[in-house]
Amino acid sequence: MNLNRRISLVIRAALSVIVIVLMAVAAVVTGEKEIIFPETAALTVGAFIADRMPWRVNAPKMLVLMGLSALMGYYLSVHLSIPVYVKVIIAFAVCIIVLSAVKSTMLPMISAGVLPVLTNVQSMIYPLSVVIITAVILLIRFFLLKTGLLSKEEKEYILPDKKEDFIRRVWLIFGFALISAAALYSGMTFMIAPPLAVFFAEAAEQDGPVKKAPFQFFLCTILCAFAGTAVRIVLFDLYSLNMVLCIGAASAISFFLLIIFGKPFPPAAALAVLPFILPESVIASYPFQVTAGCAVFVSMDVLYHAAWKKNIPLNILNRIIDFVLSIQLFPPERVRVPSGEEKKDNKNKEISDI
């Protein structure tokens, strides 16, 4: 890494910490904890620290997707009296389907939709803060691009085959529903922490970075979770330091870990900030729940890619399609062919009629 690139990276990382600190300041000053949006750390990693934007999305679409997802999560949390498990699946499935429909990989919107359900958000301040934070990040990214601190080069994407895309999204929804049931009904809610839901979707991408080095991303992710938890317990709970300083320290440590690993992986950074909006009763077990969830999600994605390599999912889909097409909802009526004697009787009858 040359000197100019190092300086640029330091500036971008510093800006990322500043954005998160300002978010924390706003939460402390207003007394509204729901302003703290952990996925802010993920957005700054993707928009500032990564050399190229890791998501296929433009600025207006990014703002709309994040805002609508947050609003949906708020609505599910406040206005629907259904089990949390069902709400979580609805939030995840809607995000997956919308991303497919708009041909985008803006996966952080999953976290924006799932977080308010798991944390029981009750205020419209949450979706408003998500929109404002996203807009600020986009403005700073525009500045970085204009000043040359960030390359304008964009990541190349190859749109997947329609069948492949359909199979992957069905797999994601089914897999997430399965793990969510185990997590929520066992009391280990943060096995499906919102950033891990993003991790799961990211790891299922055929051309994604996680597929190439799953263990490294797993290790980096859980280290960020443990780092954020350590800062929360030691600096905030034990020594009663200001929350703003603690959140800034946790995010700075997570960015440092991502840079050291050479893996600017957005979900990992979000897991370092998430402990600061959780109740004290779950903090001690939080990183272990994250580790368990991350291990399960990585294992499921490894199995999925291994199966895909052998064309197993595609073969299953083709068989299902063939079976469905073979079903006749309105079978044709059977035509009864008259026997020889019946034909003779009919002929005699016709002659007698004449």
pLDDT at 165: 82
Least trusted range by pLDDT, from 153-157, 222-226, 246-250:
153-157
Spatial distance between the Cα atoms of 289 and 282, rounded to a whole number of angstroms: 10
Q: Domain for residue 169, yes or no?
A: yes
Mean pLDDT of 197-205: 90
- Kindly report, residue by residue over 161-191, the tens digit of the pLDDT: 777 788 889 999 999 999 999 999 999 999 9
Q: Please state the domain count of the chain.
A: 1
pLDDT at 263: 81
Compute the mean pLDDT over every residue in the chain, rounded to the nearest whole number.
Answer: 88
- Kindly report, residue by residue over 259-283, the tens digit of the pLDDT: 998 888 899 999 999 999 999 999 9
- Kindly report, residue by residue over 306-348, the tens digit of the pLDDT: 887 777 765 766 666 666 666 655 555 555 555 556 555 555 5
pLDDT band for position 243 (50/70/90)?
very high
Mean pLDDT of 65-92: 96
- Kindly report, residue by residue over 244-262, the tens digit of the pLDDT: 999 999 999 999 999 998 8
Q: For the chain, how long is the longest CA-to-CA vector?
A: 114
pLDDT at 90: 97
Which pairs count as long-range contacts for 275-279, CB under 8 Å and 24+ apart, including other chains?
A: 275/228, 275/229, 275/231, 275/232, 275/250, 276/24, 276/36, 276/38, 276/228, 276/232, 276/236, 276/243, 276/246, 276/247, 276/250, 277/33, 277/36, 277/38, 277/119, 278/119, 278/190
HEC per residue, 292-351? HHHHHHHHHHHHHHHHHHCCHHHHHHHHHHHHHHHCCCCCCCCCCCCCHHHHHHHHHHHH
pLDDT band for position 223 (50/70/90)?
very high
Structural domain containing residue 161: 3-326
Spatial distance between the Cα atoms of 270 and 46, rounded to a whole number of angstroms: 11
Q: Domain for residue 179, yes or no?
A: yes
Q: Domain for residue 345, yes or no?
A: no
pLDDT at 209: 79
Query: Locate tokens 């490294």: which residue?
Result: 216
The C-alpha angle 46, 52, 53, rounded to 5 degrees, equals 45
Nearest one of 235, 197, 269 to 12, comparing CA atoms: 269
Distances (CA, A) of 287 to 191, 255, 264: 9, 18, 20
> Is the distance from CB of 73 to CB of 163 less than 8 angstroms?
no
Q: Domain for residue 277, yes or no?
A: yes
Q: Residue 337: what are its φ and ψ, rounded to 5°?
A: -85, 120
Q: Domain for residue 337, yes or no?
A: no
Least trusted range by pLDDT, from 67-76, 199-208, 226-235, 334-343:
334-343
pLDDT at 212: 82
pLDDT at 328: 56
- Kindly report, residue by residue over 292-308, the tens digit of the pLDDT: 999 999 999 888 888 87
Q: Domain for residue 340, yes or no?
A: no
Q: Which amino acid is at 317?
A: L
Spatial distance between the Cα atoms of 164 and 49, rounded to a whole number of angstroms: 31
Please indicate whether residue 264 or residue 1 has the higher confidence score (pLDDT): 264
Q: Domain for residue 113, yes or no?
A: yes
Mean pLDDT of 115-132: 95
Q: Domain for residue 32, yes or no?
A: yes
